[in-house]
Amino acid sequence: MAVTITPVDDGAIDGFGEGLRGDLLRPEDPNYDEARSIWNGMIDRHPALIVRARGVSDVIATVDFAREHELALAVCGGGHNIAGNAVCDGGLMLDLSAMRSIYVDPEERTARVEPGATLGDFDHEAQTFGLATPLGINSTTGVAGLTLGGGFGWLTRTYGMTVDNLRSVDVVTADGRLRRASDDENPDLFWGVRGGGGNFGVVTSFEFDLHEVGPEVLAGPVVYPGEDARDVLRHVRDFNETAPDESSVWAVLRKAPPLPFLPEEVHGVGVAIVVAFYAGDVADGAEVLAPIREFGDPIADAVGPHGYAEFQQAFDPLLTTGARNYWKSHNFDELSDEAIDTAVDYAATLPTPLSEIFFGQVGGAMARVPSDATAYPHRDAEYAMNVHTRWEDPAMDDECIAWAREFYDAMAPYATGGVYVNFISEREGEENLAYGENYDRLVELKTEYDPENLFRMNQNIEPAPAR
């Protein structure tokens, strides 16, 4: 595909590139295709220019160049965004993957993290000191995108969402200024970046609170035959209603992957997987999680002591780069019998062996934060459901997307009407579901900090029209 950048002459582009510390790539450059490729194999976009930034000065220069020349601007951190907003056609892609330094202060229990860092990078550094902050469940996910959308995972019930543990950010706004935002400096902007996505600028540094975690935790999957799925999910739901905040138990419906602890004869067969995690003392966790492990007749029980950083990578093999992905998601304040039955029925028709439905338990500490305290609004959710529809053959695109949408519609009557912004596959149309009751305030912030909507490659919050 030929890409042109007609609004900008070559002299201006050359001058821009010479002022960068990082690299400026064009379609003819040998590293161009690698740089524009991201996690979701469905995304095949061709920016006219790619900047591989090396520092804040490169970020400022790129924002200024895009604004002055009216170029579409896409910002890539880890490149895991399911909708592919890290890449644009014909515009300017800002690649932050080289900016991945992490500084941990074990005395203050804080970490300062650059936007190209992954969860694996973060955990590796923090766990050196037995520390962690709530992150996601796939170590190759980028810290930046996860955080800007809210961020949840195994530690969320104990310590809140990722944004609840954010102390400050440095952010380059649409006017090219570097601003510090925290509870004390630019608090309105700080409120907005905690769940408002990349709508307000490019964050060049995140400062997090850390907590004592591990380095060993009790965690792992218990795998049941698919025919037991209804009873298993009801048991998980009932257990979770009274479980302590240190406990997090998720349920997954899928075909059994070829994991080493599963008998070969069940590989590719429908199963219900219960993933248990305990954030406190391993011995206490064994007692708390006993009802999960003692239920029914499982195929395998791999719950045991694991290094926290190791467990954060446990599901990486199921979410590798390059496959085609389409997700649909709901939040639930409870899992009714009807919701469980519907999910189990659809799990029997998953379109590919790579696809899965999961119910991630949240609540706990997350729910004790007011819904308007940060831009992330969905504090009433007890479960976040996501269907990972995943396949490799492009000829299956229509079939897999249609199945995911049908399942989404079938689950809607039991859901809250909200959705986690980082799980949205559509480029537009679900903003109100993502931002909920905080949307109007986000529009006011967008109008103040980005009135021309330079940062629009996201679940976009449009600024108010100029008067």
- What is the domain extent for residue 315? 216-423
**Are residues 264 and 184 in contact, defined by beta-carbon separation less than 8 angstroms?**
no
Are residue 207 and residue 224 in the same domain, yes or no?
no
pLDDT score recorded for residue 5: 54
Q: Taking all residues of the chain, what is their mean pLDDT, rounded to a whole number?
A: 96
Tell me the pairing of strands 304-307 and 300-301.
Answer: unpaired
Residues 222 and 335 in one domain: yes
> Tell me: the pLDDT tens digits for 332-347?
999 999 999 999 999 9
Residue 332 · residue 240 · CB < 8 Å: no
| In a shared domain, residues 162 and 291 | no
Residue 447 pLDDT: 98
One domain for residues 69 and 155: no
Alpha carbon distance 421, 192 (integer Å): 14
Decide which of 95, 121, 138 is a domain's last residue.
95
- Can you give the pLDDT at residue 2? 47
Between CA 16 and CA 27, with CA 22 as vertex, the angle to 5 degrees is: 70
Q: Looking at the domain assignment, is residue 395 inside a domain?
A: yes
Which letter, b or e, does each residue of 309-320 get, where b requires 16 or more Cβ atoms within 10 Å of its Cβ? bbbbbbbeebbe
225 & 274 share domain: yes
CB-CB neighbours of 379 under 10 Å: 20
- Average of per-residue pLDDT across 22-29: 96
In a domain, 432, yes or no: no
- Closest listed residue to residue 129, CA positions, set 146, 106, 153: 106
Q: What's the confidence (pLDDT) of residue 378?
A: 97
pLDDT at 428: 74
What would the pLDDT profile of 403-459 be if each residue is shown by its tens digit?
Answer: 999 999 999 999 999 999 999 998 777 888 899 999 999 999 999 999 999 999 999
> What is the number of domains present in the chain?
3
| The two structure tokens encoding residue 41 | 């194999």
Q: Helix 337-347 and helix 397-411: axis angle, to 10°?
A: 170
pLDDT in tens, 382-407: 999 999 999 999 999 999 999 999 99
Query: What 3-state DSSP class applies to 300?
Result: strand
Please indicate, yes or no, whether residues 204 and 111 belong to a single structural domain of this protein.
yes
Torsion angle of C-alpha atoms 172, 175, 176, 177, degrees rounded to 10: -60
Band of pLDDT at residue 179, cut at 50, 70 and 90: very high
465 pLDDT above the threshold of 70: yes
